[in-house]
């Protein structure tokens, strides 16, 4: 069975209402906008983070904060859950 172009257009028009067309167009435009925004923000954020992390002071701050968090976690684990540390494989 072969369908010519005119019949195909008519079948499609019968199936799709204006609301359907608007919904599909809206979804497609939102997807495209989100993708473009995501790529743009990702590149921008990467550049800013690289600029910030290049400084020695910021690296030292990150190291200090990480050490404090690890110490507090370790302290919390040893006092409240000593059996967890006993089961750790090193």
The span from the CA of 69 to the CA of 73, in Å, is 6
pLDDT attached to residue 84:
66
pLDDT attached to residue 89:
66
- Give the pLDDT of the chain (90 residues) as one tens digit per residue: 688 888 888 887 777 777 777 888 888 888 888 887 777 778 787 888 787 777 777 778 888 888 888 888 888 777 776 676 667 665
User: What count of Cα atoms within 13 Å lies in the side-chain half-sphere of residue 78?
Assistant: 6
pLDDT attached to residue 40:
77
Extract the tokens encoding 38. Answer: 């995501």
User: pTM of this prediction?
Assistant: 0.35
């Amino acid at each position: 069975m072969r369908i010519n172009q005119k019949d195909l257009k008519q079948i499609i028009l019968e199936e799709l209402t204006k609301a359907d067309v608007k919904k599909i167009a809206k979804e497609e435009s939102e997807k495209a906008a989100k993708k473009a925004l995501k790529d743009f923000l990702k590149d921008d954020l990467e550049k800013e983070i690289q600029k910030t992390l290049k400084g020695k002071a910021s690296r030292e701050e990150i190291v200090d904060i990480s050490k404090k968090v690890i110490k507090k976690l370790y302290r919390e684990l040893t006092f409240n859950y000593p059996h967890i540390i006993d089961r750790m494989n090193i």
